[in-house]
Amino acid sequence: MSATFGNNLKVTIFGESHSAGIGVVIDGLPAGLKIDEKKIAEAMKRRAPNRSVASTKRQEADIPEIVSGYFNGRATGTPLTALIRNTDTRSQDYERTVELLRPGHADYTGFVKYHGFNDYRGGGHFSGRLTAPIVFAGSIARQLLEQHHIHVSARIKQIADVMDPGPYSAAEMEETERKDFPVVDMDIGRKMQDKIREAHSKADSVGGVIECAISGLPAGLGDPFFDSVESTLAHIMFSIPAVKGLEFGDGFKIAGMRGSEANDTPILKNGTVSFASNHSGGIGGGITNGMPVLFRVAVRPTASIAQEQKTVNIRTMEEASLRIHGRHDACIVPRAVEAVKCAASLAAADLWLEVNHD
């Protein structure tokens, strides 16, 4: 099993949802990198549950304890390690149904992979709880990028069947950080929230789509084929639990276009090459072309719902029924926005460090 991502900026996550703690080791941060702990705290707060009726009632402080690689406000250049304690676990919720495979979860695959020795409480290492260390590491990577005028922003594009087509500039998307619900158009956002509340009232859940932009990346980053920009971003995006789809630029819509419509025409702008459009999402041949890298991820409905469902008892090998207990979000998309931004920041920083060694 590998829990490590990256070539130049290596990130290793550890822990389980109900273990003593979770955390991350970051290797490759430039020595002397100034780190703003306030920005880390703000990112952790954006990932945390909110106070809405449709959000999980599990309340973790999520205060990272940095135990190495950080001194006098700067990265030392050695591996930076942070520990996030789990303090609000209710493991008894999972003891009641330990033998019953929860639909939509990794209970069966985890049982097979680890021969029944995996920690099943709260999903163990498969849990969305593990996005907390990703957000911690990504918030630091984001600070590295911003010091070089590279910015990562994201927004909710869709919840259930309510969609905000956009398009929006990266600056407009960045403004969503100042909102409790990260959408650009708050009128559409209220309709999205109504959908979440409706699903919650029916003991159900909904999913959605998150759009992310990385602006300021210079042309020439990435490689063709296996280490392409798309491959790098896909690798980490699909590491976020519940992400089930990914598209770049115009994505699947491009399949219905003609070449004359889909091609991004090169132009000269202020004496440098730019493009008249961005249908390919800022990437050509797996390499950045200087336009914003634009992509969207599809997030599945929260797997844990309070409705009774059919399943299998893994001990008796009999079909059974299950009603999931515990504290769960009716929609994880609002919290996943920060995870997507920070994961994108890790990928972008890894690409940038390939040719920029501070």
Q: Which two tokens stand for residue 237?
A: 């995006």
197 is in an annotated binding site: no
275 is in an annotated binding site: no
Q: Are 111 and 314 in contact (CB under 8 A)?
A: yes
For 92, 109, 120, 164, 300, the CA distances from 101, given in Å and listed in that order, are 16, 10, 10, 36, 18
Nearest to 335 by CA among 52, 1, 98, 17: 52
H-state helical runs in the chain: 37-47, 92-95, 107-113, 131-146, 170-174, 186-201, 229-237, 259-262, 333-355
285 is in an annotated binding site: yes
Nearest to 209 by CA among 105, 301, 135, 126: 301
User: How many Cβ atoms from other residues are within 10 Å of residue 69's Cβ?
Assistant: 20
126 is in an annotated binding site: yes
Q: Are 290 and 274 in contact (CB under 8 A)?
A: yes
Q: Which two tokens stand for residue 108?
A: 């069966």
Strands (DSSP E) contained in the chain are: 4-5, 10-15, 21-27, 65-68, 70-71, 74-75, 80-85, 151-159, 162-163, 208-215, 243-248, 266-269, 272-275, 283-284, 287-288, 293-299, 308-313, 318-323
Burial class (CB in 10 A: 0-12, 13-18, 19+), 218: middle
58 is in an annotated binding site: no
Report the C-alpha gap between 50 and 59 in whole angstroms.
9
Binding residues: 47, 125-127, 285, 327
Q: Which residues are annotated as a binding site for FMN?
A: 125-127, 285, 327
Binding-site entries for NADP(+): 47
